[in-house]
Amino acid sequence: MTPIDPIVWIIVGGVVALAAILTTVLVVRNRRQRELTRRDRRPIEAPAARPEAPVEPGAREAAVEAPAPAPTADRPEAAGTRLARLRRRLAGSNNVLAQALLGLISTDRLDADTWDDFEATLIGSDLGVGPTTELVDTLRKELSIDGVNDPTRARTVLREELVKLADPTLDRTLNVTGSAGLPAVVLVVGVNGTGKTTTVGKLARLLVAEGKTVLLGAADTFRAAASEQLQTWGDRVGVETVRGAEGADPASVAFDAVNTGADKGVDVVLVDTAGRLHNKSNLMDELGKIRRVIEKRAPITECLLLLDATTGQNGLIQARVFNEVTDVTGIVLSKLDGSAKGGIVVQVQRELGVPVKLIGLGEGVDDLAPFTAEGFVDGLLGE
Ligand SMILES: Nc1nc2c(ncn2[C@@H]2O[C@H](COP(=O)(O)OP(=O)(O)OP(=O)(O)O)[C@@H](O)[C@H]2O)c(=O)[nH]1
Whether 329 and 361 have beta carbons less than 8 Å apart is answered as no
Residues 142 and 280 in one domain: no
Residues 192 and 153 in one domain: no
Residues 241 and 317 in one domain: yes
Whether 258 and 217 have beta carbons less than 8 Å apart is answered as yes
pLDDT digits (tens, 9 = 90+) for 80-121: 666 666 666 666 545 667 777 777 766 766 777 878 888 888
d(CA 331, CA 245): 29
136, 166, 196: which is the final residue of a domain? 166
What pLDDT does residue 223 have?
A: 79
Residues 217 and 269 in one domain: yes
372 annotated as belonging to a binding site for a ligand? no
Residue 226 CA, closest ligand 1 atom number: 23
Question: Which H/E stretch holds residue 305?
Answer: strand 302-308
d(CA 340, CA 94): 7
* In the predicted structure, residue 351 carries a pLDDT above the cut 50: yes
Q: How far is CA 53 from the centre of its chain?
A: 28
What pLDDT does residue 202 have?
A: 94
SS3 246: coil
Tally of domains within the chain? 2
Averaged pLDDT of the chain: 78
Residues 161 and 190 in one domain: no
Query: Quick check: is 56 in a domain?
Result: no
Q: How far is the CA of 193 from the centre of ligand 1 (A)?
A: 5
d(CA 344, CA 322): 16
d(CA 67, CA 82): 24
* In the predicted structure, residue 343 carries a pLDDT above the cut 60: yes
Query: Quick check: is 26 in a domain?
Result: no
Q: How far is the CA of 187 from the centre of ligand 1 (A)?
A: 16
Query: Quick check: is 10 in a domain?
Result: no
Query: Quick check: is 154 in a domain?
Result: yes
Residues 201 and 150 in one domain: no
Query: Atom 21 (ligand 1): residue with closest C-alpha?
Result: 193
144 annotated as belonging to a binding site for a ligand? no
Residues 110 and 237 in one domain: no
pLDDT digits (tens, 9 = 90+) for 231-287: 999 999 999 999 988 778 999 999 999 999 999 999 999 999 986 766 777 877 888
Residues 207 and 127 in one domain: no
Quote ipTM for the complex: 0.95
Residues 98 and 192 in one domain: no
Q: How many CB atoms lie within 10 A of CB 201?
A: 23
Query: Quick check: is 6 in a domain?
Result: no
Whether 104 and 118 have beta carbons less than 8 Å apart is answered as yes
Find the residues whose C-beta lies inside 6 A of ligand 1: 190, 192-198, 220, 223, 226, 274, 306, 334-335, 337, 360-363, 367
Domain containing residue 365: CATH number: 3.40.50.300
Query: Atom 6 (ligand 1): residue with closest C-alpha?
Result: 195
SS3 332: strand
Query: Quick check: is 63 in a domain?
Result: no
pTM: 0.77
Residues 156 and 302 in one domain: no
Query: Atom 1 (ligand 1): residue with closest C-alpha?
Result: 362
Domain containing residue 102: CATH number: 1.20.120
C-alpha distances out from residue 288 to 208, 281, 326, Å: 29, 10, 7
Query: Quick check: is 60 in a domain?
Result: no
Q: At residue 104, what is the residue type? A: L
Residues 156 and 210 in one domain: no
Residues 111 and 202 in one domain: no
What pLDDT does residue 41 have?
A: 35
| Beta strands 356-360 and 368-370, pairing class | antiparallel
166, 198, 229: which is the final residue of a domain? 166
Query: Quick check: is 226 in a domain?
Result: yes
- Domain range enclosing 95: 79-166
d(CA 148, CA 107): 7
Q: What share of the chain is helix, strand, coil (3-state, %, to 5)?
A: 55, 10, 35
140, 166, 192: which is the final residue of a domain? 166
